Amino acid sequence: MVDCKPAFDYGLRPAAWRLVDGNRHRACAYDDGAALSLELAASVRLEVADGSARATAVLHQGEQAVVSLSWGAAHPPHTVADAEERLRRTGEFWRGWLAGGSFPDHPWRQHLQRSALVLKGLIYAPTGAMIAAGTTSLPETPGGERNWDYRYTWIRDATFALWGLYTLGLDAEADDFMRFVGEVALDERDPLHIMYGIGGERSLPERTLDHLSGYEGARPVRVGNEAYRQSQHDVWGMLLDSIYLHTKDLDELPGWLWPLIEQQVDQALRHWREPDHGIWEVRGALQHFTSSKLLCWVAADRGARLARRHGASDRAADWRAAAAEIHADICRNGVDERGAFVQHYGSTALDASCLLFVLLRFLPPEDPRIVATVHAIADELTDEEHVLRYRVEETDDGLAGEEGTFVICSFWLVSALAEIGEADRARRLCEKLLNHASPLGLYAEELDPHTGRHLGNFPQAFSHLALINAVIHVVRAEDHPGRFAPPPRAEAVPPELAPEVKPA
């Protein structure tokens, strides 16, 4: 039995149904106010009444029936033969797409392939935008208020997306995403937003749907994301690192990107001394977040490298000097007495975003401050070896309640351990995390480390991007035992930018 009763506008407007051209095997549900429609097709007879499309059939052994629902212009199959043919073509497409990638011959190859499929599935083909997740308001903590809408594109995802896609040989998707990010940034008259809609929309106002509850009764259910209004200084570094990766893959700097580079490096240098909301989009007081300063350094550092390639020697010198200034400021104010990078200036709290210090080549992996940071996070900011973003009792994030451990942070720790030469520990942690994959090899935003339960929006692009980075780190560490060969991102920090190492 089939009983299809959709409602539009998040359940506020019931659908009106009609048979398509009088065909009892095809029916259309539509919303006149928004020009939206769904089409239901079946190999059995459909009846339309009371806002529903229904079908009833008794199947005997060996018999088959098909029911399919589609949105948009494509007509769904209404015969078994048509459905089987479409399934066959779909399987061939995805197998062919994966065959075009470059995956290492390793037992964890399937995890890389599944993550690649997830990323491809989260890309909006008309623009190349990659959304953070396909869901909204799946709770980070059951019964809590940390329920967010992730159906948008974050600029911060760009550098990790490009690194992952280029590493796996999926250049077309990486280039399309870079084009999308570059175009929305070039069109921006105000400071660069941290996130956009899949069509480049800039206004993403947040509201709650009080007539709905979510998973296990979770409230509030949110649509939109007010974080689009926030000031997050990591955005410039993420964009510049993306352009840098794009340029390295092409082995040239596309001319259309140079105005964007100038514009965004200048923005980073104009604002880097100011506090912001940080990479985790906290809704508490603004702070001088250390990772935000790091990403402003990345903007200046990558900008200087790109300017050198472009032949803009004056710009390269200015930005190199600015990078050195930011570098010195971070080393002076962002390190605590134990020699580890902390969440924000004046704090002793740890933050998982400080794992980016080694991944983004701020200092060499053997630097005592890098090693101290990785060890402090691994030993003090974990629950059952899974990494928290921060301790909620130490961080004014403007919210109540607990949150789970973050998958991306745990995979960052894998990569960071490999970077500092602890390949065995990195491999053990990576294997533990891979064992927490869902039956389909998918990851949400967070994990309950005690039960393995997935929490937050699902599947999460950021989690799968970090998985790719971590697995490649471990694989390459295995290929070069005793001598870690990091995946390419940026060259080592030039001697003139590396401050004097403090005694441990």
Is 147 found in the same domain as 63? no
pLDDT number for residue 374: 97
Largest CA distance in the chain: 82
Q: Which of 79, 95, 111 is the last residue of a domain?
A: 95
CB 297 within 8 A of CB 362: yes
CA distances from 297 to 237, 277, 428, 483 (A): 7, 17, 32, 28
Is 161 found in the same domain as 71? no
Element at 433 (helix H, strand E): helix 423-434
> What residue ranges in 452-501 does DSSP mark as E strands?
454-455
Cα 242 to Cα 490: distance, rounded to the nearest angstrom: 11
Residue 418: is its pLDDT beyond 60?
A: yes
Question: Domain for residue 451, yes or no?
Answer: yes
Is 18 found in the same domain as 154? no
Question: Domain for residue 502, yes or no?
Answer: no
Q: CB-based contacts of 433: which residues, under 8 Å, 6+ apart?
A: 386, 407, 410, 411, 414, 467, 470
User: Given pLDDT bands bounded at 50, 70 and 90, which one contains residue 401?
Assistant: low
Question: Domain for residue 315, yes or no?
Answer: yes
pLDDT number for residue 503: 31
Q: Which residues pair with 181 in a beta bridge?
A: none
Is 279 found in the same domain as 164? yes
User: Given pLDDT bands bounded at 50, 70 and 90, which one contains residue 499?
Assistant: very low
Question: Domain for residue 503, yes or no?
Answer: no
Q: Which of 95, 114, 137 is the last residue of a domain?
A: 95
User: Given pLDDT bands bounded at 50, 70 and 90, which one contains residue 173?
Assistant: very high
Higher pLDDT, 417 or 184: 417
Tell me which of 47-56, 126-135, 416-425, 432-441 is least confident: 47-56
For residue 427, give both structure tokens. Answer: 């491999």
Which one of 14-18, 73-77, 490-494 scores highest in mean pLDDT?
A: 14-18
Find the radius of gyration of the CA atoms of the chain: 25
Question: Domain for residue 270, yes or no?
Answer: yes
Is 84 found in the same domain as 171? no
Phi/psi of residue 4, each to 5°? -110, 115
Question: Domain for residue 504, yes or no?
Answer: no
User: Is the Cα torsion angle 222, 223, 229, 232 positive or negative in sign?
Assistant: positive
Residue 491: is its pLDDT beyond 80?
A: no
Is 80 found in the same domain as 106? no
Q: Which of 36, 68, 95 is the last residue of a domain?
A: 95
Is 328 found in the same domain as 213? yes
CB 398 within 8 A of CB 227: no
Is 220 found in the same domain as 348? yes
Q: Scanning the structure block, which residue is given the tokens 């294997």?
A: 431
What CATH number does the domain containing 490 carry?
1.50.10.10
Q: Rounded to the nearest 10 degrees, what angle do helices 290-310 and 313-333 cross at?
A: 160
> What residue ranges in 178-240 does DSSP mark as E strands?
195-196, 207-208, 222-223
Query: Mean pLDDT for the chain?
Result: 88
Is 306 found in the same domain as 454? yes
Number of domains in the chain: 2
Tell me which of 10-19, 58-67, 356-365, 486-495 is least confident: 486-495
472-490 pLDDT, tens digit per residue, is 999 999 887 654 444 444 4
Domain hosting 78: range is 2-95
Cα 248 to Cα 307: distance, rounded to the nearest angstrom: 13
For residue 47, give both structure tokens. Answer: 């009846």
Half-sphere exposure of 312 (CA within 13 A, CB side): 17
CB 69 within 8 A of CB 40: yes
Is 42 found in the same domain as 118? no
Higher pLDDT, 296 or 284: 296
Cα 135 to Cα 138: distance, rounded to the nearest angstrom: 7
pLDDT number for residue 490: 42
Is 203 found in the same domain as 308? yes
CB 41 within 8 A of CB 25: yes
Question: Domain for residue 217, yes or no?
Answer: yes
Is 105 found in the same domain as 91? no
Question: Domain for residue 362, yes or no?
Answer: yes
Cα 39 to Cα 495: distance, rounded to the nearest angstrom: 63
69-105 pLDDT, tens digit per residue, is 888 767 788 889 999 999 999 999 999 999 999 999 9
pLDDT number for residue 489: 46
Q: For residue 103, which of 477, 472, 434 has the smallest C-alpha distance?
A: 472
Distance of CA 429 to the CA centre of its chain: 21
219-234 pLDDT, tens digit per residue, is 899 999 988 887 788 8
Q: For residue 399, which of 187, 159, 141 has the smallest C-alpha distance?
A: 141
